[in-house]
Amino acid sequence: MKPDPDKAKRSGSPKAPKVHADPGDAPASGNPVLRVGVDTGGTFTDIFAMDDQGRQRRWKVLSTPDDPARAILQGMTELFPELDPSCLEMVHGTTVGTNAFLERKGARTVLLTTLGFEDALWIGRQARPRLYDLMATRQPEVISREQVLGVKERINWKGDILTRLLPGEISRARDFCLAHGAESAAVCLLHSYANSMHEEAIRTGLEDLGIHVSISSDVLPEFREFERLSTTLINAYLGPVVGRYVDQLQAALSGARILIQQSNGGCRPARGIGSQAVHTLLSGPAGGVQAAWRLGRDLGINNIITLDMGGTSTDVSLCPGHLTFTRDYKIQGFPVAVPILDIHTVGAGGGSIAWVDEGGMLMVGPRSAGADPGPVCYGKGERITVTDANLFLGRLQPESFLGGRMKIFPERVGPRMEKLGRLIGLSPEETAIGIIRLVDINMVQALRAVSVERGYDPRDFVLVCFGGAAGLHAAGLADALQIKKILLPSMAGVFSAHGMAIADLSLHKSMAFFTRQAQTRYSELREAVNRLVSGCYEEASRLGLRADSMGIKAHVDARYQGQSYELTVPWSRDWVDAFIQEHQRLYGYAIRGRDIEVTAIRARALLSAQGSRLKVQSTGPGTCLAESTHSAAPCSKIAGQGMRVPVYFEAGKTETLMIYRKEVERGKAAVSGPALILDDFTTILVPPDWRITPQGPHLLMERI
């Protein structure tokens, strides 16, 4: 359905990119010539585009939290005024689901579960994150206890029906949904991973009500009732919200092929994404981690720690030669047990607000000024943020912000910084330095959480920094953790969007599978793996994907008999050896000869994207320069053209060289600090005792 143009005018939404007047001028529909990654953040919406010739463009606009699609359409219109949507393939990382959950603005949802288990959501695991906190408060409810119905039925762990589900119970479930005005229903019955018959019967019975229905045997067909229930409930709660948003975006870009970035690093067609909404919770950060891992692999760097600092938050992930996944992710204490890239998030971004607590201590974050009103220097905000502190200290240059497209108001920052300083008895300069120090501490704690606390020495890793604000803080974080090298990608300011543009299509399936003495049952396991792989091919066919170009990797969840938790290891004839080696690495011991049991089998299907590698440098709209077209120039000559600006460091004010990034790349020689490297969408601070060296289109920063 086409969008109503009159409605768009009334709402102030920008028009969709203009379609060619003559259809014959545009490439044939179904053969996209432009692949675009779009990362919607709390402050900015990033766009990265590349065509079938490998030419690249990048763009950044302020986000529109009330309607995220409006910023996307605005950015696409500015970047491609004459775009024919039928030529477009878009991979979109969205925060719509995450924000809806955090703000409790999901669909009105009811939970249908086995009679006697109605309180499972509130009982949980009885684990307390702060055991001795007498003032602990519970997170806001997703649904109330009145929105839960116990259905009379029972299946045991082997899949045997103990109490049959009668038609009267399905009628009672229908009446319950109608009475509560449900938009969505989550169905999670006991042991449905072993037999889904009753869940499917309830879904069939609710079909004509026109509501979204999520059943746990589809969302997470695995054991552990609380995790399965929580994951299914979140999927149902977010499904209608995410589905409506994607449908509206698809209508605004009619003819375009839209894919959604998933939390596991891959993307999938937008069609039916509402039924998979739980897989979009870390949609944005996953794109950056995937791109950083690929870049490290291309450059021969095995061990990396990623740092993605945007306007609202910072996301970090550790990749010890491979991407790391988790099924223990929690959002506000509610477990989400689907495979997700192991990303740790803290409320530390350029828009993080500085404030003074009741004890008179300076604090930073986790609250953010976002895109509206934004930091003080954006022109409307009244509360000092990290961005304001960097600007006040001279680390940001107003003229270079978003390549000069966005007007900055530095004169608004000084009085408010002085007022904040008076509250804590510090000068404005000391206050700004304190803000930077505090936000750095928050990010250092996040980096330690994914490295030191998991048995990894951060000194053995290269820090890969991206996001609009990361370059200003990278050296300080590396100093704190004694990291020797920092890699700053060529597309650092829009790197997550870049990762989305080159993301592979990905499908994931899992199934509960219980067997003891699994080391002696290779044939039985192989048969189960083959069934799961066949399921991946069937799903790919339903989505219209080419199954013949699909690569599938299978894994098994295994543990020593008697253990409570499993290790996931790659499936092969030698999977037992892989389990023993991983157990030895994680726990320092392995028990050869002890019985091993398998609890689940997993399969991940990948279809490679037709995207260029990360070795092309874009200089902005209208200019797409490959590395080979850069002209050589002596670095001393370029440095001589740079001007010096006052920048505050911990030791005081220092005259710092200001130089444009493209000039550093052309110079092909190291630049020693103190220096500011300016790019359209990010700024890199090179402190004294650090130097930065071009590595093709990328930059490597090292301590001298």
57-75 pLDDT, tens digit each: 999 998 998 899 999 999 9
Instruction: Check if the beta carbon of residue 199 is closer than 8 Å to that of residue 112.
Output: no
Selection from 644, 309, 645 nearest residue 464 by Cα: 309
Topology match between the domains 107-237 and 506-607: no
Whether the CA torsion 646, 648, 651, 657 is positive or negative: it is negative
Q: What is 5-100+244-279's CATH superfamily?
A: ATPase, nucleotide binding domain (3.30.420.40)
154-191 exposure pattern, b = at least 16 Cβ within 10 A, e = fewer: bbeeeeeeeeebeeebbebbbebbeebebbbbbbbbbb
453-485 exposure pattern, b = at least 16 Cβ within 10 A, e = fewer: eeeeebeebbbbbbbbbbbbbbbbbbebbebee
Which two three-digit tokens encode residue 1?
């359905």
Instruction: Check if the beta carbon of residue 506 is closer than 8 Å to that of residue 605.
Output: yes
Whether the CA torsion 359, 364, 368, 372 is positive or negative: it is positive
Residue 95's pLDDT is what? 86
Strands 567-570 and 148-151: unpaired
Name the CATH code of domain 107-237 (choices 3.40.1710, 3.40.50, 3.30.70, 3.30.1390): 3.40.50
pTM of the model: 0.84
Whether the CA torsion 444, 450, 456, 462 is positive or negative: it is negative
Instruction: Check if the beta carbon of residue 36 is closer than 8 Å to that of residue 90.
Output: yes
DSSP-based three-state secondary structure for 330: strand
Angstrom distances, CA of residue 611 to CA of 51, 109, 308, 536, 552: 9, 40, 22, 23, 20
Q: Which residue has the tokens 């995937």?
A: 290
Instruction: Check if the beta carbon of residue 165 is closer than 8 Å to that of residue 153.
Output: yes
Residue 609's pLDDT is what? 60
Residue 404's pLDDT is what? 76
Residue 624's pLDDT is what? 32
DSSP-based three-state secondary structure for 618: strand
* Cα 569 versus chain centre, distance: 24
- Rounded Cα–Cα distance for residues 215 and 213 (Å): 7
Instruction: Check if the beta carbon of residue 696 is closer than 8 Å to that of residue 679.
Output: no
Q: Residue 74 is which amino acid?
A: Q
Q: At a CB cut-off of 8 Å and minimum separation 6, what does 336 contact?
A: 230, 231, 234, 278, 281, 329, 330
Q: Which residues pair with 385 in a beta bridge?
A: 353
Q: Which helix (H) or strand (E) holds 577?
A: helix 575-587
Which two three-digit tokens encode residue 317?
């992930």
Residue 31's pLDDT is what? 54
Which two three-digit tokens encode residue 663?
């000039």
The architecture in CATH of the region 506-607 reads: 2-Layer Sandwich (3.30)
* Cα 392 versus chain centre, distance: 30
DSSP-based three-state secondary structure for 699: strand
Q: Which residues of the chain have pLDDT under 50?
A: 1-30, 611-641
Backbone angles phi, psi at 411, to 5 degrees: -65, -20
- Rounded Cα–Cα distance for residues 576 and 522 (Å): 10
Q: Residue 533 is which amino acid?
A: V
Orientation angle between helical segments 428-450 and 470-481, nearest 10 degrees: 70
Check residue 14 and report its DSSP letter.
P
Residue 487's pLDDT is what? 96
Instruction: Check if the beta carbon of residue 317 is closer than 8 Å to that of residue 291.
Output: no
Instruction: Check if the beta carbon of residue 660 is closer than 8 Å to that of residue 680.
Output: no
DSSP-based three-state secondary structure for 504: coil
Phi-psi region of 404 (alpha: psi -120 to 50; beta: other; left: phi over 0): left
Residue 282's pLDDT is what? 87
Instruction: Check if the beta carbon of residue 444 is closer than 8 Å to that of residue 477.
Output: yes
Phi-psi region of 195 (alpha: psi -120 to 50; beta: other; left: phi over 0): beta
Other beta carbons less than 10 A from residue 551's beta carbon: 10
User: Domain coordinates of the chain in residue numbers?
Assistant: 5-100+244-279, 107-237, 506-607, 619-703
Residue 289's pLDDT is what? 94
Selection from 681, 633, 634, 641 nearest residue 657 by Cα: 641
Which two three-digit tokens encode residue 515?
């067997």
